[in-house]
Structure 1
């Protein structure tokens, strides 16, 4: 979105048109909406802004639920925004630490600031992009004087009177649409600047979950977060925001809105792995946050499980146990790993619908599924992995 589109949108006419728009879910919906609005005599800038926002609101429901219908977005801002249930949990950490005024530096469209303000925390929200700051101001307007939105950089923000900082460094190229990832040295603000600030005051910093662990300071809490099976972020907490005795944490969230459930495992350091053992009656796939936090060993011990291979994140056990930190499968049998023999074995078992999971092997599940030429009414999960140097195919079913 360009400034001309935002200006056209932030008028009584623009907002009325947007609120009256039906859901825009497909390219055909876009074409019909554009044709109708242009026929009604609206300007190109206004039509582009209204239709674009209507489509983004539809997409934003997965992160913001019903609140999305009262918000504005950029495509890049929505992609990078924190899901509201996760933002609320982050905000609770500031509140519970007794921190009442937080600077949200690199606030984007205001997702994290919404979580903070919703819990009664005063927020100073700052973004370096003028359009994004304008959109954040619109999204945060219901909180009145409790939220101030500024157009500026993190480095130039006056932090006097602020108790703590939430930071989401720009890790992608500038823009409101398609962007690309950049290297840590090119982030804004830089990691060095962020870590220097974290030594002087309580800071929470949102980063990509794949951050090189060697860059993580020893004196912060590192919390990896997953949502519905996808590892979405790493948050580093310093000062009063870091929990005593916790340096590694995996937060696993399942479901949306009021139905969302959160589970967390914490430790003082990386967990030692359990020894390798033979394939048992159950196979467990640890959540990505658990893997990133290197807490597989602690989860394995809770399941009375061992590693299937020392280099691959699959656990196996004979005990009928599971946990929120794994997906558990009951092992039916092992099958030939050779593609031709594997397809024959699956067809003999009348398996026509097959979920394919893989680790440690170079396989495209979609292509393999087609080549297996499956048929029949049965369903199953096929787990392709490597045990030592041996490729293994495990037929299983979800627990």
Structure 2
């Protein structure tokens, strides 16, 4: 297959025949693809049928990020589905731009156009730039498909050669490389903040044996920061595992989660330099850093609070603990404990009924005694595999009750905490 084949194949999907074929294969069950392909190839070119079915699969995967109404009209590449911003997050960020009075944005490394779409829907004119021909073609097709072509200009170019001076703001979403040339970095969720003994406000982070290096971005973070500093306003989307010391002093750093999953960090320029915040969607709920010292370690109270991942990544556990009048159960574990229930959107609350050293037989006996048939296993600071533990303590689940067990450390010692989500009238989970 020559280099132009993928682009030619994509262009064929935009013809009347291709668009009609996309409508016909919408929602095709993967198990039925072979039969559908065999039937359609009687009347259509085999390559076009394959391209349409591949696009249908990508659209199905994209529903989780873009919703059914948009995903069924948009065009995707495999990387575009994986790397594009979830609509809720892009819309929130576009709203922040609009609130700053921004009316035009240079969207650099635009991908298939997810962020450009959100900006345009916020009434902002967008120059969307990507150097990959197929990706730029998809972004252009998406602007057309969603009726936003008047607000979105798509340009195939090297972002480092684009003049951004005519625009009110710059948005950069660089490719994050890892695992060798051309790879994409993968970042796991931390089991404990400050891995390796760092504090709530610890510095660099090593996750799963990988050291995060912002200069491995394409283009590098240093280039993106220089570009941002020359613009009236700017936002740089970065991986949430970025070391805090890599955040330039001129930037505001915001960590964003959606439905409890940490999605990204954003460096904002010309807003509030030095501010650190965690924003939780839906909502939004925003927790601003107040520069508080690390929380004190205290004895386990009646309630245990599990801070949202964005709060942990932003190193704002101290702010949550202060608002709850609580403390930590261990100096290296991001669990907050308190005696009284207090509502907070920034942490999930559990009532703790039992605390004991790690002991599988004791846990199994307690679960049997309390007729627990559904067990949620959470861990921070423990090497125990949750699924293996669940199999050991609930080999044949049949109880009528549910419980949550935390595998963690309390004041430096391995411990099991048994409880359940806070009930109505107590802090909302």
Q: Specify if TM > 0.5.
A: yes
Q: Which whole-Å CA distance do the structure 2 matches of 1:337 and 1:268 have between them? A: 36
What is the aligned length? 384
Cα deviation, residue 51, structure 1: 1.1
2:285 aligns with one of 231, 244, 263: 263
**Contact 1:76–1:179 at 8 Å: present in 2 too?**
no
Q: Which whole-Å CA distance do the structure 1 matches of 2:219 and 2:111 have between them? A: 14
Cα deviation, residue 29, structure 1: 4.0
Q: How does 1:1-399 map to 2 (within 5 A)?
A: 2-24=6-28, 27-38=30-41, 40-65=42-67, 66-141=69-144, 142-172=147-177, 180-181=184-185, 183-201=213-231, 202-239=233-270, 242=271, 244=272, 247-254=275-282, 261-267=283-289, 269=291, 271-372=292-393, 373-375=395-397, 376-399=399-422
**Could you say if the C-alpha distance between residues 367 and 33 of structure 1 is closer, same or farther in structure 2, counting changes exceeding 3 Å?**
farther
Q: Which whole-Å CA distance do the structure 1 matches of 2:328 and 2:28 have between them? A: 47
**Could you say if the C-alpha distance between residues 104 and 321 of structure 1 is closer, same or farther in structure 2, counting changes exceeding 3 Å?**
same
Q: Which whole-Å CA distance do the structure 2 matches of 1:374 and 1:286 have between them? A: 32
Q: Which whole-Å CA distance do the structure 2 matches of 1:53 and 1:326 have between them? A: 39
Q: Which whole-Å CA distance do the structure 1 matches of 2:27 and 2:139 have between them? A: 22
Q: Which whole-Å CA distance do the structure 2 matches of 1:72 and 1:356 have between them? A: 39
Aligned to 2:198: none
Q: Which whole-Å CA distance do the structure 2 matches of 1:43 and 1:365 have between them? A: 50
Matched position secondary structure for 1:274:
coil
Cα deviation, residue 349, structure 1: 2.0
Q: Which whole-Å CA distance do the structure 2 matches of 1:192 and 1:48 have between them? A: 41
Q: Which whole-Å CA distance do the structure 2 matches of 1:86 and 1:211 have between them? A: 18
Deviations 1:31-55 (A, max 9, x none): 44333333x3432321222112112
Cα deviation, residue 268, structure 1: 5.2
Aligned to 1:257: none
Matched position secondary structure for 2:312:
helix
Deviations 1:61-91 (A, max 9, x none): 2211121111111121111111112111111
Q: Which whole-Å CA distance do the structure 1 matches of 2:306 and 2:16 have between them? A: 52
Unaligned runs of 5+ in 2: 187-212, 423-429
Matched position secondary structure for 2:160:
coil
**Contact 2:104–2:168 at 8 Å: present in 1 too?**
yes
Cα deviation, residue 347, structure 1: 1.9
**Could you say if the C-alpha distance between residues 235 and 10 of structure 1 is closer, same or farther in structure 2, counting changes exceeding 3 Å?**
same
Q: Which whole-Å CA distance do the structure 2 matches of 1:378 and 1:67 have between them? A: 40
**Could you say if the C-alpha distance between residues 30 and 364 of structure 1 is closer, same or farther in structure 2, counting changes exceeding 3 Å?**
farther
Q: Which whole-Å CA distance do the structure 1 matches of 2:7 and 2:308 have between them? A: 41
Deviations 1:158-204 (A, max 9, x none): 22311210000011379xxx953295333221111111112211210
**Could you say if the C-alpha distance between residues 36 and 366 of structure 1 is closer, same or farther in structure 2, counting changes exceeding 3 Å?**
farther
